[in-house]
Chain A
Amino acid sequence: DAKTTQPPSMDCAEGRAANLPCNHSTISGNEYVYWYRQIHSQGPQYIIHGLKNNETNEMASLIITEDRKSSTLILPHATLRDTAVYYCIVRPDILTGGGNKLTFGTGTQLKVEL
Protein backbone atom coordinates (compact mmCIF):
# COMPACT_ATOMS: atom_id res chain seq x y z
CA ASP A 1 0.00 0.00 0.00
CA ALA A 2 1.19 3.50 -0.75
CA LYS A 3 2.64 5.52 2.10
CA THR A 4 0.95 8.72 3.23
CA THR A 5 2.39 11.84 4.83
CA GLN A 6 0.35 14.20 6.99
CA PRO A 7 1.28 17.15 9.21
CA PRO A 8 1.34 16.09 12.86
CA SER A 9 -0.97 18.85 14.05
CA MET A 10 -3.21 21.70 12.93
CA ASP A 11 -5.38 24.29 14.59
CA CYS A 12 -8.64 25.70 13.33
CA ALA A 13 -11.06 28.32 14.63
CA GLU A 14 -14.58 27.13 15.27
CA GLY A 15 -16.89 27.92 12.36
CA ARG A 16 -14.07 28.12 9.87
CA ALA A 17 -13.18 25.51 7.28
CA ALA A 18 -10.55 22.98 8.29
CA ASN A 19 -8.36 21.85 5.40
CA LEU A 20 -6.31 18.76 6.17
CA PRO A 21 -3.65 17.84 3.60
CA CYS A 22 -2.29 14.42 2.77
CA ASN A 23 0.56 13.48 0.48
CA HIS A 24 0.48 10.09 -1.24
CA SER A 25 2.94 10.51 -4.07
CA THR A 26 3.43 6.76 -4.63
CA ILE A 27 -0.26 5.96 -5.02
CA SER A 28 -1.12 3.36 -7.65
CA GLY A 29 -3.92 3.53 -10.18
CA ASN A 30 -6.24 1.16 -8.32
CA GLU A 31 -5.72 2.64 -4.87
CA TYR A 32 -8.38 4.66 -3.12
CA VAL A 33 -7.86 7.45 -0.62
CA TYR A 34 -9.75 6.96 2.65
CA TRP A 35 -10.13 9.33 5.56
CA TYR A 36 -10.93 8.31 9.12
CA ARG A 37 -10.87 10.21 12.35
CA GLN A 38 -10.52 9.20 15.96
CA ILE A 39 -11.92 11.24 18.76
CA HIS A 40 -10.13 10.66 22.03
CA SER A 41 -10.74 7.19 23.48
CA GLN A 42 -13.26 6.24 20.79
CA GLY A 43 -12.99 3.87 17.84
CA PRO A 44 -11.95 5.32 14.49
CA GLN A 45 -14.80 6.75 12.45
CA TYR A 46 -15.09 6.51 8.68
CA ILE A 47 -15.41 9.92 6.99
CA ILE A 48 -15.11 9.64 3.24
CA HIS A 49 -13.18 7.99 0.43
CA GLY A 50 -12.47 8.57 -3.25
CA LEU A 51 -10.50 7.36 -6.26
CA LYS A 52 -9.92 10.37 -8.49
CA ASN A 53 -13.03 12.52 -8.47
CA ASN A 54 -13.81 14.94 -5.72
CA GLU A 55 -16.32 13.58 -3.23
CA THR A 56 -18.70 15.19 -0.76
CA ASN A 57 -20.94 13.78 1.92
CA GLU A 58 -22.68 15.11 4.99
CA MET A 59 -19.47 15.16 6.98
CA ALA A 60 -16.81 16.46 4.64
CA SER A 61 -15.43 17.01 1.17
CA LEU A 62 -12.46 15.23 -0.36
CA ILE A 63 -10.40 16.99 -3.00
CA ILE A 64 -7.93 14.79 -4.90
CA THR A 65 -5.40 16.44 -7.19
CA GLU A 66 -5.44 15.55 -10.86
CA ASP A 67 -2.18 13.59 -10.59
CA ARG A 68 -3.61 11.88 -7.45
CA LYS A 69 -0.41 12.47 -5.52
CA SER A 70 -2.11 14.46 -2.81
CA SER A 71 -5.53 15.16 -1.36
CA THR A 72 -7.26 17.50 1.06
CA LEU A 73 -10.04 16.73 3.48
CA ILE A 74 -12.28 19.71 4.06
CA LEU A 75 -14.52 20.14 7.08
CA PRO A 76 -16.56 23.15 5.92
CA HIS A 77 -17.60 24.53 9.31
CA ALA A 78 -15.45 23.01 12.02
CA THR A 79 -16.90 22.66 15.52
CA LEU A 80 -15.28 21.79 18.82
CA ARG A 81 -16.55 18.23 18.36
CA ASP A 82 -14.37 17.87 15.27
CA THR A 83 -11.26 17.93 17.46
CA ALA A 84 -9.70 14.54 16.70
CA VAL A 85 -6.83 12.73 15.01
CA TYR A 86 -7.47 12.49 11.27
CA TYR A 87 -5.98 9.62 9.30
CA CYS A 88 -5.40 9.54 5.56
CA ILE A 89 -5.11 5.99 4.25
CA VAL A 90 -4.41 4.64 0.79
CA ARG A 91 -5.79 1.23 0.00
CA PRO A 92 -6.33 -0.94 -3.08
CA ASP A 93 -9.79 -1.52 -4.48
CA ILE A 94 -11.39 -4.37 -2.55
CA LEU A 95 -12.59 -5.89 -5.80
CA THR A 96 -8.98 -6.58 -6.82
CA GLY A 97 -8.48 -8.65 -3.70
CA GLY A 98 -6.70 -5.98 -1.75
CA GLY A 99 -7.84 -3.93 1.15
CA ASN A 100 -8.02 -6.54 3.86
CA LYS A 101 -6.52 -4.11 6.28
CA LEU A 102 -6.21 -0.43 6.86
CA THR A 103 -2.71 0.83 7.57
CA PHE A 104 -3.02 3.71 9.97
CA GLY A 105 -0.15 6.14 10.25
CA THR A 106 0.14 8.74 12.98
CA GLY A 107 -2.38 11.11 11.40
CA THR A 108 -2.99 14.82 12.01
CA GLN A 109 -4.18 16.05 15.39
CA LEU A 110 -6.77 18.71 14.59
CA LYS A 111 -7.62 21.07 17.40
CA VAL A 112 -10.66 23.26 16.92
CA GLU A 113 -10.70 26.26 19.20
CA LEU A 114 -13.15 29.02 20.04
Chain B
Amino acid sequence: DAGITQSPRHKVTETGTPVTLRCHQTENHRYMYWYRQDPGHGLRLIHYSYGVKDTDKGEVSDGYSVSRSKTEDFLLTLESATSSQTSVYFCAIRNKYGEQYFGPGTRLTVT
Protein backbone atom coordinates (compact mmCIF):
# COMPACT_ATOMS: atom_id res chain seq x y z
CA ASP B 1 0.00 0.00 0.00
CA ALA B 2 3.08 2.28 -0.14
CA GLY B 3 2.28 3.73 3.30
CA ILE B 4 -0.44 6.17 2.20
CA THR B 5 -3.45 6.91 4.34
CA GLN B 6 -6.29 9.34 3.80
CA SER B 7 -8.64 10.83 6.34
CA PRO B 8 -11.51 10.95 6.64
CA ARG B 9 -12.55 8.05 4.42
CA HIS B 10 -16.12 9.29 4.17
CA LYS B 11 -17.60 12.71 4.80
CA VAL B 12 -20.96 14.35 4.31
CA THR B 13 -21.05 18.11 4.57
CA GLU B 14 -23.33 20.99 3.70
CA THR B 15 -22.89 23.50 0.92
CA GLY B 16 -20.82 26.47 1.99
CA THR B 17 -18.89 24.78 4.78
CA PRO B 18 -15.10 24.40 4.73
CA VAL B 19 -13.68 20.91 4.41
CA THR B 20 -10.11 19.65 4.79
CA LEU B 21 -8.93 16.27 3.59
CA ARG B 22 -5.65 14.85 4.79
CA CYS B 23 -3.15 12.65 3.03
CA HIS B 24 -0.35 11.09 5.06
CA GLN B 25 2.64 9.14 3.77
CA THR B 26 5.30 7.21 5.62
CA GLU B 27 7.70 6.83 2.67
CA ASN B 28 9.31 10.30 2.66
CA HIS B 29 8.55 10.89 -1.04
CA ARG B 30 8.95 14.36 -2.43
CA TYR B 31 6.00 14.38 -4.85
CA MET B 32 2.40 14.15 -3.67
CA TYR B 33 -0.82 14.59 -5.65
CA TRP B 34 -4.53 15.13 -5.17
CA TYR B 35 -6.95 13.75 -7.79
CA ARG B 36 -10.71 13.61 -7.97
CA GLN B 37 -12.68 10.90 -9.71
CA ASP B 38 -16.14 11.35 -11.13
CA PRO B 39 -18.23 9.13 -13.39
CA GLY B 40 -17.46 9.82 -17.04
CA HIS B 41 -14.32 11.84 -16.26
CA GLY B 42 -11.79 9.39 -14.93
CA LEU B 43 -9.20 10.79 -12.53
CA ARG B 44 -8.34 14.46 -12.80
CA LEU B 45 -5.45 16.22 -11.11
CA ILE B 46 -6.39 18.98 -8.65
CA HIS B 47 -3.06 20.05 -7.16
CA TYR B 48 0.33 18.54 -6.59
CA SER B 49 3.36 19.20 -4.41
CA TYR B 50 7.03 18.77 -5.19
CA GLY B 51 8.31 19.50 -1.70
CA VAL B 52 7.52 21.18 1.59
CA LYS B 53 5.72 24.45 0.84
CA ASP B 54 6.08 23.81 -2.93
CA THR B 55 2.77 23.24 -4.67
CA ASP B 56 1.26 23.79 -8.09
CA LYS B 57 -2.13 23.65 -9.76
CA GLY B 58 -3.53 20.78 -11.75
CA GLU B 59 -6.27 20.80 -14.34
CA VAL B 60 -9.25 21.25 -11.96
CA SER B 61 -7.86 23.44 -9.18
CA ASP B 62 -10.66 26.06 -8.94
CA GLY B 63 -12.32 25.96 -5.52
CA TYR B 64 -9.47 24.01 -3.92
CA SER B 65 -6.34 24.95 -2.02
CA VAL B 66 -3.54 22.80 -0.66
CA SER B 67 -0.81 23.01 1.92
CA ARG B 68 2.27 21.00 2.69
CA SER B 69 4.06 22.03 5.87
CA LYS B 70 5.66 18.63 6.42
CA THR B 71 6.98 16.05 3.97
CA GLU B 72 4.54 13.44 5.21
CA ASP B 73 1.30 15.45 5.06
CA PHE B 74 -0.53 17.01 2.10
CA LEU B 75 -3.81 18.76 2.90
CA LEU B 76 -6.60 19.54 0.46
CA THR B 77 -9.05 22.27 1.50
CA LEU B 78 -12.40 23.16 0.03
CA GLU B 79 -12.87 26.69 1.35
CA SER B 80 -16.62 26.67 0.71
CA ALA B 81 -17.89 23.32 -0.46
CA THR B 82 -20.31 23.13 -3.39
CA SER B 83 -22.38 20.23 -4.68
CA SER B 84 -20.13 20.02 -7.76
CA GLN B 85 -17.32 18.98 -5.43
CA THR B 86 -19.11 15.79 -4.46
CA SER B 87 -16.60 13.21 -5.60
CA VAL B 88 -14.09 10.59 -4.59
CA TYR B 89 -10.73 12.13 -3.79
CA PHE B 90 -7.49 10.20 -4.17
CA CYS B 91 -4.09 11.13 -2.89
CA ALA B 92 -0.96 9.73 -4.52
CA ILE B 93 2.80 9.78 -4.05
CA ARG B 94 5.48 9.33 -6.69
CA ASN B 95 8.63 7.38 -6.12
CA LYS B 96 12.01 8.01 -7.72
CA TYR B 97 11.16 5.67 -10.62
CA GLY B 98 8.12 7.72 -11.62
CA GLU B 99 5.61 5.21 -10.30
CA GLN B 100 2.61 6.71 -8.55
CA TYR B 101 0.95 4.93 -5.65
CA PHE B 102 -2.52 5.87 -4.55
CA GLY B 103 -4.29 6.03 -1.24
CA PRO B 104 -7.63 4.35 -0.51
CA GLY B 105 -9.69 7.44 -1.33
CA THR B 106 -12.09 9.78 0.48
CA ARG B 107 -15.72 9.81 -0.54
CA LEU B 108 -17.07 13.35 -0.08
CA THR B 109 -20.74 14.25 -0.39
CA VAL B 110 -21.79 17.87 -0.36
CA THR B 111 -25.52 18.30 0.26
A residues whose Cβ falls under 8 Å from a Cβ of B? 32, 34, 36, 41-46, 49, 87, 91, 93-94, 99-102, 104-107
Contacts and interface: CB of A to CB of B under 8 A. Distances in A.
Interface residues of B, number: 22
Interface of B: 31, 33, 42-45, 48, 50, 56, 58-59, 90, 92, 94, 98-105
The 9 A-B pairs of least Cβ separation, nearest first, read: A43-B102, A104-B42, A104-B43, A101-B45, A94-B98, A46-B99, A44-B102, A43-B90, A43-B105
Nearest to A100: B48
Contacts of B102: 43-45
Say what secondary structure dominates the interface of chain B. Answer: strand
Nearest to B59: A101
Given A44-B102, A106-B42, 7 more contacts: A34-B99, A43-B92, A44-B43, A44-B100, A100-B56, A102-B100, A104-B42
6 contacts: A41-B105, A43-B92, A44-B92, A44-B102, A94-B94, A104-B43
Given A100-B56, A101-B58, A106-B42, A42 B98 contact: no
Contacts of B33: 101
A43 B42 CA distance: 12
Contacts of B42: 87, 104-107
B31 to A, nearest CB: 8
A49 B90 contact: no
Contacts of B100: 36, 44, 46, 102
A91 B104 contact: no
Contacts of B43: 44, 102, 104
